[in-house]
Structure 1
Amino acid sequence: MTQFEVRNELITNEKLDDLEELGRKQSSESSTSSTESEPLDGGRRAWATAFGSFLVQFCGYGYLNSFGVYEDFYTRIYLTNQPPSAISWIGALNSFLVANLTLISGLLYDRGWFYQLMVVGSSLQALSLFMLSFAKPGQFYLIFMVQGVLSGIGMGLMYGPSMAVISQHFSKRRTLIMALVASGSPLGAIIHPIMLNHLLNGTVGFARGVRASAGLVSALLLIACLFMRTRVLSTSTPSASYSAVARKCSREVPFILMTAGILLCQIGILFPVFYLQLDSIKHGIDVHFSFYTLVIMNAACVIGRCTAGIIAAYSGLLNLTIASTLACSALIISMIALTKISSVIVIGIAYGYVYGVYIAALVPLVTVLTPDLSELGARMGICFAFTSFGGLLGGPISGALLSSQYRWLIPSLFSGFICLTGSSIFVVMRLIIYPRR
């Protein structure tokens, strides 16, 4: 072999070595980037984020589901110049804003505004409660704007992003972790009513009682903001636009029926949540026991949410939704017979359980009717934007039917039968879907 050939061979081997080294670097970089783009399914940051999201649910929907305490206190003591229907608009608008603002907060979350949404939302909720403590008896419009509007905006900015951020940290255990995070809502609806009833109706009074509640909520939301963190994820497909998904949904009969069924159920299904405590007190049941009616109902709601997934595996998700809404309508109508402590306990436990099952089935039901999961967020936003009008109208309509004479028969029958109508739409939906399959 000549000297020239040896030199060429050495140069070629050096180039091959360089290419192999470059390939190893690129492979290492690509594996690192893919690792960073995939949820780790655990870790300190992931569990801290899950705990922070749990606290957001505890202070968000957990506090909202305690509005029955305020409804009772405002009706009997603080806003006696207003009928129950007007007072119920406070909680109804609060619930409406939480659901509808998910359309806005979801888009902002997709664009990387998670931390801003958490800080602004938690600040608004804490500010609304502190401002509420300065309201005087009879100042309905101030309470309406502060507790109904300002608090609803704060909760609405946090609710959707606090649940969506879980998907960045968990993959295989995502459903389980989301269920645990969502349990913060009924758990908060157990703790907050006990605290509020003892503060508002005790020696503390409204102003200092609401400030103490605001202090607790503010501290928990501060911890949540400090704990929650996001991860940079690379998405291979762009998120679907609301207009494109809305056009698809408008041509799908099962999706339309599902939305209509949930809308009708929402009109009647919140009647016990708003009025069970007031109903118990007005029927002469011990006041101190009546303060725990919402606690009993929400404790059963926790069990219902946790067992819904197990039952759905055997019965089917749509069948479970039909059964739970039928049971809710029957129990709402049975509130006519509420006269003793035993009847309050039975109705509270039974209704809390089936109501928890119904709530737990809503998001999976939307998922089942979503053929392309990249559209799931948009479909959920569209569905809940329509169905939130049911929660907005249900409480005030029931309050108007109840009137200042407290005629419990009429609102109980109305709420029960409107919920039964929604259940019948789910039955029609089942008759359409199953023959196709």
Structure 2
Amino acid sequence: MKIPSFNRRHSLSSITAPLLSPTGAIDEDDDGTVPIVRAQTTADGYYDSKLRRGFNDLTRFRSAASAATYNTLNSFFFEHIDEDAYLPDVGLRPWLAALGGFCAQFCSFGYMNVIGLFQTYYETHQLVDLSPSTISWIGSIQTFILAFGGLFCGRICDMYGPRWLTVPGCLLLTLGVCMTALCTEYYQFVLAQGVCSAIGASALFYATTSAITGWFSKRRGLAFGVAASGASFGGITLPFLFDAVSSRASFGMAVYCVAILLFIFSFTAVIVTTSRLAPSGRQPYRFVHFYLRPYFDPVFALVTLSLTIVYLGLFVPFAFVASHALANGLSLASAFHLIAYLNAGSLAGRLFSGMLSDKAGNFNIYILVCFMSGIVAFPFWYLSTTEVGIIVVAAAYGFASGGVLAMYPALIAHISPVREIGTRVGAVSAAIAFGALASLPIAGAIVGGEEDPVGNYNGMQIYAGVAMMAGSVIAVIAKGKATGGKLLARE
């Protein structure tokens, strides 16, 4: 008797056919089917269905077991949320991610938004013998690392999840700020404030930004506006805290209080930030594929160029509004309060631009706020010499520049595939970091010496305004490319 081969289809008929087939002729039924073959077919279907059901149950069990193990591990190390189980814009988890973004931007851009406070304090205290241009390198390096870190942080977040960045970001930021309180020499301020704290701030910012993009779709602009408002809230809170403590105790104690507040917010970001998209895992580091390929898209390249030019002037008022006020006769306390007024306007600008972009289009709002920022810097800041005028200009510039900072990640997400948003935001940030690096030293060099301080600040104001208006013009060209020349389209 021939033994059936198991290389054939694994069904009951392949095994039982030789055993059940009779040697003699058998009469057929009326329907032309041999009775024993019909019985065999019935049995075959029955047992095949049982085998398939058992196999599927086993597969589901193994998948469930793997998922349970994966979720258990990722409760400590990663963020694993079924992509299909949660819809974008719906539920508590998306808004927890937005809260994480709010806390992270409080610690990153919120801390950086008060560079004018430290610039002015260093000019009048620890580093009084150095020029404004030399001192400005501290904030410039801080801005550069915060932006350039996206080249690495975005990719790490895509591969391993946000928590691989938020935890070390929290620790490095707190360490850098605490070390700033102990600094006495110029190089020490550069290493502590310009490098260490900036690396931590960069990790926090890009981790939470990448997480938000996966949780939101239709209300992504609003979510980015809520997250970006954390930077303004930090810019409002930190100057008053620093001024209150430093005037009653010392510089070191004031910086320690700032460090405690930043740790509270950054630790909150660590807890609440999760990603809807499961981490892709380790992948080869292909620089050309991940970071250069997007620039073959002319829209992406033009948006990056626009942001780089805008960043040449964007943070100049943040750094020099207080020292400009001192040159016009305001007190040191009033100059510190200007930074808070600027960030109060930025809070409104971030929220308003985020909400409006969901209706009017990301390109349209970005172009508008870039042009408004340039107009406020020059001629309005240029013409402001009284205390009331400087306060109004600070609030107005905060409103316009807050819109720029809120719109730039939303605009990159708008023109990028969802699974590449973290990497592409990093690629853009690495490019605009060079604009940020050059901006403050150029502005400080324009301010120069003390022969005619007000006149020198006028030259700096023209530089900042022209840079931002030029960036808005390039953004118009990018929109034309994206819409096929339809400049009035809601895009």
Which of the five TM-score ranges fits, normalised by the shorter chain? 0.7 to 0.9
Aligned with residue 134 of structure 2, among 83, 86, 100: 86
Tell me the alpha carbon deviations over residues 322-371 of structure 1, each in whole angstroms, 9 at most, x when there is no partner. 3322221221122222222220222022111111222222223334444x
- Cα deviation digits, residues 9-48 of structure 1 (max 9, x gap): 9955752562474377379679977983435256666655
Residues 159-238 of structure 1 mapped to structure 2, 5 A cutoff: 159-167=205-213, 176-200=222-246, 202-229=247-274, 233=278
Q: Matches of 2:97 and 2:62 in 1, distance apart? A: 27
Q: Does 1:417 align with 2:466?
A: yes
The Cα shift of 1:316 comes to 4.4
- 1:188 maps to a residue whose letter is G
Residues 109, 27 of structure 1: CA spacing in aligned structure 2 closer, same or farther, 3 A cutoff? same
Q: Distance in 1 between matches of 2:141 and 2:272?
A: 30
- Give the unaligned 5+ runs of structure 1: none
In structure 1, C-alpha distance between the alignment counterparts of 2:212 and 2:421, rounded to whole Å: 15
Q: 2:242 touches 2:258 (CA, 8 Å); kept in 1? A: yes
Match of 1:386 among 425, 431, 437: 431
Note if contact 1:69-1:197 (Cα within 8 Å) is conserved in structure 2. no
Match for residue 129 of structure 1 among 177, 181, 204: 177
Matched letter for residue 113 of structure 2:
N
Judge conservation of contact 2:369–2:401 (CA < 8 Å) in 1: yes
Give the structure-1-normalised TM-score: 0.86
Q: Is the 8 A contact 2:363 2:411 kept in 1?
A: yes
Once the two structures are superposed, the pairs formed by residues 11-50 of structure 1 within 5 Å of their partners are: 12=44, 15=47, 18-19=50-51, 21-22=53-54, 25=57, 36-38=82-84, 40-41=86-87, 48-50=96-98
Q: Rg: which structure is higher?
A: 2
Query: C-alpha deviations, 1:273-325, integer Å up to 9, x for none?
Result: 11112212221124433322121111111211222144445654434333322
Correspondence for 2:411 among 356, 365, 374: 365
Q: Distance in 2 between matches of 1:434 and 1:171?
A: 20
Rounded Cα–Cα distance in structure 2 between residues aligned with 1:226 and 1:317: 30
Per-residue CA distance 1:104-130 (angstroms, 9 max, x = gap): 122222332643422222111111111
* Ranges in structure 2 where 5+ consecutive residues have no aligned partner: 1-34, 68-79, 487-491
Paired residue type of 1:108: I
1:256-335 equivalent positions in 2, closer than 5 A: 256-312=301-357, 315-333=360-378, 334-335=380-381
C-alpha separation in 1, matches of 2:362 and 2:384: 31
**Relative to 1, partners in 2 of residues 1:436 and 1:344: Cα closer, same or farther, differing over 3 Å?**
closer
Distance 1:159 1:353 in 2: 21
| Residue equivalent to 2:6 | none
Task: Kindly indicate whether the alpha-carbon contact (under 8 Å) linking 2:158 and 2:279 is maintained by their aligned counterparts in 1.
Answer: no
Seen in structure 2, the aligned counterparts of structure 1 residues 230 and 421 have a Cα distance that, compared at 3 Å, is closer
Change beyond 3 A, Cα 1:223–1:264: closer
1:349 is matched with which residue? 395
Q: Note the alpha carbon deviations across 1:351-404, whole angstroms, 9 max, x for none.
A: 11111222222223334444x444443332222211111111111111111123
Task: Identify the match of residue 203 of structure 2 among 157, 165, 175.
Answer: 157
How many residues get paired?
Answer: 432
Q: Does the 8 Å CA contact 2:370/2:404 hold for their aligned counterparts?
A: yes
Contact 1:242 1:378 in 2 (8 A): no
Give the % identical residues.
Answer: 24
Give the whole-Å Cα distance in 2 for the aligned partners of 1:90 and 1:359.
21
TM value normalised by structure 2 = 0.77
Partners of 2:408 and 2:264 lie apart in 1 by 31
- Aligned alpha-carbon RMSD (Å): 3.5
